[in-house]
Amino acid sequence: MSNPDQNQMKQECQNQRECMEMLQLIVDGEASPEQKEHFLVHHLEECMPCYKNYHLEVAIRQLLKNKCTGQAPQELIDSIKAKVISNLAP
Amino acid sequence: MELEESPKQQYSDKEKSNIFNNEFMPHINSMYNFAYRLTLDQDDSKDLVQDTYLKAYRFIDSFQQGTNAKAWLFRILKNSFINDYRKKSKEPSKVDYQEVESYYNSEEVDRQITPDLRVEALKDMIGDEISNALNSLDVDFRTVIILCDLEGFKYDEMAKILDIPIGTVRSRLHRARNLLKEKLSEYAKQMGYKNA
Ligand SMILES: [Zn+2]
């Protein structure tokens, strides 16, 4: 996506509701390639609110992935394995 | 996906061990994170994950190899949480699904709740703000964000894990993200961002 000239962009979105639904489909990986192309390449170039929303959604997801995941404690892994192995023993 | 269904497979011990180690255990970090975000308690989350894995092993014949092991495990964990842990907690679910549906279908959805939450404000959230914001959401809203944004499940997989229609998955996600943005916007204001 190029960096659009913000002065040329619409400050109001004409299809806010449809756009919000499309944006959700796109960030969730549920949109078709045509839908993505139309929204990401054409609509975002000209619509300021959608441009901002899209980047906000992407940034939130990135932050979630970086900050809200973790590792299972090793003792838990060991304990599960031990219990299952003892179950498997004849 | 159903544990209650009669087993369709009969695996040998060697096959069971292979499935368990190669298809179930690789999801342990995701499972632990899910459990922790549901219970918000380290001991409870360890117990919940262990219960889930032992259940998965006990019912391994209901798991069909080649299908989505992660979704299968997540569904068992979610059901164990509802049956064994949620009952214990004093706080009942506050989500009124009817309300969620009507919210989604109302004009209110057109209203941008936090139009000015800015990416720059998010970039300064290097502490626990996002984690606290996520944890502060009602458990049903928290759950859809975890499944979708952290674990990358598709809508149809989420519908199966949660036993709800896809339309409800979408409306709940939409609402959950707005609530999360509201929280983040509060934090941004506290951090000194104006109009955040
Ligand atoms: Zn737009």
Do the Cβ atoms of A59 and B119 come within 8 Å? yes
Q: Nearest Cα to B81, choosing from B161, B184, B183, B188?
A: B161
The rounded Å distance from CA A24 to ligand 1 centre is: 13
pLDDT at B147 exceeding the cut of 50: yes
A6 touching chain B per CB within 8 A: no
Task: Tell me the CATH class for B13-86.
Answer: mainly alpha
What is the rounded average pLDDT of the residues B6-31? Answer: 92
Write the residue in B16, B131, B173 that is nearest to A67 by C-beta. B131
A69 touches chain B (CB under 8 A): yes
Sign of CA dihedral B95, B97, B99, B103: positive
A35 near B CB under 8 A: no
Same fold, B13-86 and B97-190: no
Angstrom distances, CA of residue B56 to CA of B20, B21, B48, B68, B76: 9, 12, 12, 13, 7
CA separation for the pair A46, A11 (Å, rounded): 9
Domain boundaries defined on chain B: 13-86, 97-190
Confidence of residue B5 (pLDDT cuts 50, 70, 90): low
Inter-chain touch A68–B150, beta carbons under 8 Å: yes
Mean pLDDT of B1-17: 78
Structure tokens at A90: 């004849």
> Which residue, among B39, B42, B119, has the nearest Cα to A63 in the 3D structure?
B119
Instruction: With CA atoms as reference, report the closest residue to B147 among B73, B44, B67, B55.
Output: B73
Q: Do A80 and B117 touch (CB under 8 A)?
A: no
Mean pLDDT score, B67-75: 97
Alpha helices in chain B (DSSP H): 13-19, 28-39, 42-58, 69-80, 97-105, 119-123, 129-136, 139-145, 155-162, 166-190
Compare all CA atoms of chain A with the CA of B119 and give the residue at the minimum distance: A56
Q: Do B28 and A72 touch (CB under 8 A)?
A: yes
Tell if the CB–CB gap between B173 and A81 is shorter than 8 Å. Answer: no
Classified as helix, coil or strand, B87 is coil
CA distance B13 to A87: 10
Residue pLDDT, tens place only, A58-89:
999 999 999 999 999 999 999 999 998 787 65
Structure tokens at A14: 């004409």
Query: Spelled out in words, what is the top-level CATH class assigned to the domain B97-190?
Result: mainly alpha
pLDDT one-digit tens code per residue, B86-110: 766 545 454 545 445 555 554 445 4
Stretch A45-53: mean pLDDT: 91
What are the residues whose beta carbon lies below 5 Å from ligand 1 (ion)?
Answer: A 13, 19, 47, 50
Mean pLDDT of B3-22: 85
* ipTM value: 0.88
| B124: three-class secondary structure by DSSP | coil
Its pTM stands at 0.87
Q: What is the residue extent of each domain of chain A?
A: 15-88
Instruction: Tell me the C-alpha distance between B193 and B196, whole Å.
Output: 6
* Range scoring the smallest mean pLDDT among A8-12, B3-7, B148-152, B189-193: B3-7
CA of A8 to the centre of ligand 1 (A): 14
Neighbours of A18 (CB within 10 A): 12
A:B CB pairs within 8 Å? 105
Residues of B in Cβ contact (< 8 Å) with A61: 149
